[in-house]
Amino acid sequence: MKLPEDIIEKIQEYSAALLSPNEIAVLVDIVPSEINLFCDICKNHQNSPIHVAYQKGRLTTKYELRSTVIKLAKAGSPAAEPLADKYLKEQLINE
């Protein structure tokens, strides 16, 4: 599946807003018969610009959220500290 660069940019923007591949497909006017293919590409086709844009948007927001939680935890936020601990444990498991 090939899409114009402006649509690839929209995919990254919408993914950064944590929309699902299915929701993004609707917003960028993917024809209904190709929505399942689009969703599969977003999740599994690592060499596709669609996959890269989807992952980059999602991970950018993940980083921003985690960065904020870490800053709050370092400042002593009781609500942020358990989340920061959870992120640390996830990182250790994935290493």
pTM: 0.86
CA dihedral 72, 76, 80, 85 (to 10 degrees): 110
* ∠ CA 10-63-95, rounded to 5°: 120
Nearest to 25 by CA among 88, 16, 57, 34: 34
With a CB cutoff of 8 Å and minimum separation 6, the contacts of 47 are none
- Residue 15 is predicted with a pLDDT of 98
Mean pLDDT of 4-29: 97
- The predicted-structure confidence for 19-69, as pLDDT tens digits, reads as follows 999 999 999 999 999 999 999 999 999 999 999 999 999 999 999 999 999
Q: Is 76 left (phi over 0), alpha (psi -120 to 50) or beta?
A: left
Return the domain boundaries, the chain: 5-94
Tokens 């649509």 — which residue?
7
Assess whether pLDDT exceeds 80 at residue 94. no
